[in-house]
Amino acid sequence: MFTILLLLLPCILLHLVNFLLGRAEFPSSTLELKHEEAPQAVPSSSIPETLDFDVFLSFRGEDTRNSFTDHLYHGLNLKGIDTFMDEERLERGKPIAPKLLKAIEHSKFAVVVLSEDYASSTWCLDELAHIVQCMKGGRLKVFPVFYHIEASTVRKQTGNYGKAFAKHDENFKKEKRKVKKWRRALTRVAEVAGWDLKNRKESEVIEEIANRISNILNDELSSSNNDLIGMDSRIKKMEEYLALCRSDDVRTIGIWGFGGIGKTTLANEVFKKIRNQFDAKCFVSSVREESTKVNGLVGMQKSLFATLLHCNEDIQNADLGIQLLRTRLRNKRVLIVLDDVDKLDQIKALADESWLGPGSRVIITTREKHELDSCGLLADSIYEVDKLKIGEDSQLFCRKAFKENDAPHDYKELSKKYVEYAGGIPLALIVLGSYLRGKNVIEWSEAFDRLDEDPEEDIMNVLKISFDALKGTVKQIFLDIACFFNGENQVRVKKILESCRFYPTSGMRDLLDKALIKINERNELWMHDLLRKMGQDIVHRQFPNEPGKRSRLWINENAYKRNRSWHDKVLAENTGTTAVEGIFLILLAKEEIQLDADPFAKMCNLRLLKICNVNFSRCPEYFSKELRLLEWHEYPLESLPSSFKPCQLVELKMPNSRITQLWHESCTMMENLVQMDLSNCKFLIKTPDFRKVPNLERLILEGCEKLSEVHATIGDLQRLVVLNMGRCESLESLPHSISLKSLKTFNLSGCSKLKEFPEIVGNMEALSELFLDGTAIRTLPASIQQLRGLFWINLSRCKNLTCLPMAICSMTSLRYIYMSGWLFVPCKTATTEVPVESSVSAEHKDELAESSVSTEHREMESSVLFNELATEEI
């Protein structure tokens, strides 16, 4: 008897465990677990004790294991996202193992694939309940995927979910709290913004999920910056101000301080830390600068819609944008940061508290405390960013100067002097430390003596130390960026500065090393406001009362007030001199300037000229032969002056001008010219001889409605990368053949009279995008197969196109043919085989093959014939 009891003891214990969990006495529940299958990935038995996954996948194996979830798992891993996908699901009928729970707890994200029968699985529901528990406090970010099921069905537990819970209510009569917990978990997850696969391609959704998680992980990685000294205490203080534990109220917090004190950095770090606690979030940068642009507030409102609501709204004016935002955000818990605000109307147009749902938070950074007061913010809602504490300032300086937390013995006293001089201002500490890095003690001492000679407590003097130490041409680069090129693409600026013999590659490296500029993720030059103001002040001080003798003159949305009044004196009164090297006259509204003489006649050293929204009473006819950049919107003459010798020109931009013929045949060679923009020149009849511009890289002729003739030499521009002739409605023909080996983008969209596409001669493998939509082209030459790198071709609205050469099927790089809106007349002559590499969509693969031997007209209803192979392989 005792032996029998020993043999039965494991079964009795197992039955007891299952009974306590509500499984043993309910056959239907156990039966459900027997049907539950699992995906292939990291087996739960092999999960290490210490876990650190990026993503945990929750799903019902029988529904999606071999389809969507498997593709999602591989898509995430292709992005380098460490993903846990349970394969074994342990022994059927047993509770979830502690190691599987740890996988959830040690993951940063959970993606829950809610399928039709997800709620029928008690395993899935237990898993989901633990996921929701881990959501508290922002420990785990959850993304639901509604796999062919409505979110409302999940949220309200209707349909199949209702049927499943009817069974659970019956089977778990003694564990009503458990069933209630499952219901709450489903409702909570269904309320989170996620993805709905209804009427969408799985590959697109998978790519969106992978990109979203990848971006968040990248942001978190970049936020772990060792140089953010003193940030922890500031973030803690901000969290107190934000009072995130109060989930019902809406709160606005202001971050106030002068430029360079670290307002934006603090706002950015707080945003990164708390953003996962909100339904939607948006960081709006450079509000002050953006709002000065035409329709700047409307543009930022559109960005809010795109980021917070994932939609594009047609906003005509700021008032309409306010109404739409108020309507759409009132039930959403959102986080909005408005960076660098300087006017109350910016706040009212972008993030008024009265629009936002309960628990929302708005963070505003500004230099103007009175704007926060005008918002009605009390003292306990305004955080004044103070200078770094003693010890923090020294640590930050030493990190930049020595890449250590402390100074070497020989530098300790000098380091102490520099830290004291910087006064705890982060930007000053960074700039000074970066400048002094690698210099010896004597150089440190001399540099400090120069500082000591001017004891004025003005931050400009602190920053100017680094400028004074720059070499001659590097100073010129700095001043050009400060006055003209902040926010511009660095590659483009380098080409201009190279032609000025400023050696920008080494020069910009020097500026980067000294923290005087940065290059952002869009490859744009970025200079801090204080540094830019310092550079502009240096130019202004050259001749404070005689602007015609300064090296650089500018009026634009970024110009400081005292730099906005020079144009009457210099241009109208003709006081310009040979000292002037650059003029950027960019007005937000049309303005007329009366001229008694040609104001540019004396400016023989002018390198850079940009004019926008200016009408001169008489058009200047003299341009310096030193010009590298000539950009004149709505240029009033029919051609460039015959006396102009543009041998140094790098960029020529004259959009919306009255040009009919760009230059005369006697015009000199322009070997440095790389970019020409004549877009929307509605009077341009023909293009010039392109042999004069052999190194041209970008040619923009879009919208030249009367352009009927293109010089044959266009086909010989071996360095041309972009050729845009879209909407040239009078263009009837192109050269018989082209050989543009560097061309990547070729746009003929909307050339409604163009009937023939040129023969491809030689190597044009660089071309990846070809836009022929809306043309009158009847056929494509067989030589199009020479475009071996072609990825995309748009043939929509080509109503005269009756045949595609089957040679197109041998183009293995081709992924998309956009061909809606025309009748496809198949060719008989070529092979019926469609290459696997081109990945013709299933619905059209047979159609295309049949078309090679059929003579029937066939309406092509699909807009995309070729799908991207990569998405099918996820």
pLDDT confidence bin for 700, thresholds 50/70/90? very high
Q: What is the mean pLDDT of the chain?
A: 82
319 and 458 in a common domain: no
361 and 315 in a common domain: yes
| Residue 243: strand pairing partners | none
CATH code for the domain in which residue 337 is found: 3.40.50.300
Per the domain annotation, does 155 fall within a domain?
A: yes
Domain finish residue from 321, 355, 384: 384
Per the domain annotation, does 206 fall within a domain?
A: yes
Core vs surface per residue 692-728: b (16+ CB within 10 A) or e: bbeebbbbbbbbbeebbebeebbbbbeebbbbbbbbb
Contact 106, 52 (CB under 8 A): yes
DSSP secondary structure of 87-152:
SS--STTSPPPHHHHHHHHTEEEEEEEE-TTGGG-HHHHHHHHHHHHHHGGGSSEEEEEE-SS-HH
Question: What is the average pLDDT across 502-526?
Answer: 89
Per the domain annotation, does 34 fall within a domain?
A: yes
Per the domain annotation, does 655 fall within a domain?
A: no
Question: What is the average pLDDT across 85-93?
Answer: 55
495 and 362 in a common domain: no
- Residues 446-495 have pLDDT tens digits of 888 876 555 344 467 766 877 888 889 999 999 999 999 999 999 999 99
Domain finish residue from 468, 499, 529: 468
Domain finish residue from 335, 357, 384: 384
Boundaries of domain holding 130: 21-215
Question: What is the average pLDDT across 696-721?
Answer: 94
201 and 110 in a common domain: yes
380 and 262 in a common domain: yes
Q: Taking 70 as the threshold, does the pLDDT of residue 670 lie above it?
A: yes
- Residues 817-867 have pLDDT tens digits of 888 754 443 344 433 333 333 333 333 433 443 333 232 333 333 334 433
Q: Taking 90 as the threshold, does the pLDDT of residue 573 lie above it?
A: no
pTM of the model: 0.56
Question: What is the average pLDDT across 663-674?
Answer: 83
Q: At 1, list the tokens.
A: 């008897």
- Percent helix, strand and coil across the chain, each to the nearest 5: 40, 15, 45
Contact 734, 711 (CB under 8 A): no
Question: What is the average pLDDT across 807-826?
Answer: 72
Among residues 127, 290, 371, 392, the one annotated as catalytic is 127
The whole-angstrom separation of Cα 329 and Cα 446 is: 58
Per the domain annotation, does 628 fall within a domain?
A: no
369 and 306 in a common domain: yes
The pLDDT score that the predictor gives to residue 80 is: 61
- Residues 21-63 have pLDDT tens digits of 333 333 333 222 222 333 333 333 333 333 357 899 999 988 8
Q: Taking 60 as the threshold, does the pLDDT of residue 106 lie above it?
A: yes
* Number of structural domains in the chain: 4
The pLDDT score that the predictor gives to residue 618 is: 83
Q: Above pLDDT 90, what percent of the chain?
A: 46
Per the domain annotation, does 657 fall within a domain?
A: no
120 and 79 in a common domain: yes
Question: Of 794, 786, 826, 843, whose CA–CA distance to 810 is shortest?
Answer: 786
CATH code for the domain in which residue 91 is found: 3.40.50.10140
356 and 244 in a common domain: yes
Contact 267, 341 (CB under 8 A): no
197 and 127 in a common domain: yes
Query: Catalytic annotation on 581?
Result: no
The pLDDT score that the predictor gives to residue 19 is: 38
Q: Which helix (H) or strand (E) holds 256?
A: strand 251-256
169 and 29 in a common domain: yes
Per the domain annotation, does 604 fall within a domain?
A: no
398 and 377 in a common domain: no
Per the domain annotation, does 522 fall within a domain?
A: yes
The pLDDT score that the predictor gives to residue 846 is: 39
- Residues 390-424 have pLDDT tens digits of 999 999 999 999 989 999 999 999 999 999 888 88
Of 327 and 469, the structure prediction assigns the larger pLDDT to 327
Q: 76 CB contacts (<8 Å, ≥6 apart)?
A: 54, 55, 83, 209, 210, 213
pLDDT confidence bin for 94, thresholds 50/70/90? low
The pLDDT score that the predictor gives to residue 284 is: 93
Distance, C-alpha 244 to centroid of its chain: 29
The pLDDT score that the predictor gives to residue 316 is: 86
- What separation in angstroms does the CA of 311 have from each of 275, 301, 302? 20, 12, 9
Q: Taking 80 as the threshold, does the pLDDT of residue 627 lie above it?
A: yes
Q: Above pLDDT 70, what percent of the chain?
A: 82
The whole-angstrom separation of Cα 163 and Cα 157 is: 8
Q: Taking 50 as the threshold, does the pLDDT of residue 3 lie above it?
A: no
480 and 345 in a common domain: no
Q: Taking 50 as the threshold, does the pLDDT of residue 14 lie above it?
A: no
